[in-house]
Amino acid sequence: MNLQDKVAVVTGASSGIGLELARALTSEGARVFGLSRSTDKLQQIRQELGDGFHPVTCDVRDENAVKTAFDQVLREGGRLDVLINNAGLGKFGPITEFSVADWDVLMETNLRGIFLCTRAAVPQMKKQNAESGFGGHIINIASIAGLVGNPNLSAYNASKFGVRGFSEAAMKELRNDGIKVTAVYPGSVDTNFGRHSGGQGIGSRNAMTPQDIASTILHILKTDDNYLISEIVMRPLRPRG
């Protein structure tokens, strides 16, 4: 896909991998609608990136908020070529000490949010496929924790294994509609999330950078329309330095 003038939605765009994705996509000439609950941070990013970045305050757990956000994207952008489901959070602890409230907010953010945003994006992408033969590309940011279970990460593992299952099913369901679905499984990344997860089995002293992840996703997006990378795993070569 040539990203010039394409319309992209990035959730969790106010920091970390989401912010670097917004930077990378706007540098390629895409119009990026960045979704986040952090209105102030989104406005600061708008000042940095200029007219190519469109701030959209949205809690991806909220069905009505997601509908409103995607209505805005289609009203202002006129189309939707890329959806990157990046918003997520981590809560860790032993099963016996893990609260129902923490379980619910983690599942609602990491899994329900991906479902709601994907459901909102697919009708427009199907319409574009009918018009031009290609609908668009959905990328779901999972985690190594969606491939391997870890002690004290049972809830986080469950949410990310769920992302894997949802992504594989969506890929098979949507490929004949000209819609690519790719699941991305990063290992340790040097973000606030990664730094605050130390000791939980997913952090490392020598982590990858958000720029590493963004550049790989950019490569995936720029592949030929008939070329699908359905899954990709990324790890630091020497996690302990």
Return contacts of 164-173, CB within 8 angstroms, 24+ apart. 166/111, 166/114, 166/115, 166/118, 166/140, 167/140, 167/142, 167/230, 167/231, 168/230, 168/231, 170/118, 170/138, 171/228, 171/230
- Paired sense of beta strands 136-141 and 82-85, if any: parallel
Known catalytic residue at 227: no
Contact of 141 with 187, CB cutoff 8 Å: no
Distances (CA, A) of 195 to 17, 65, 90, 204, 229: 13, 30, 11, 8, 29
From the list 156, 161, 185, 193, the catalytic residue is: 156
Catalytic positions are 156
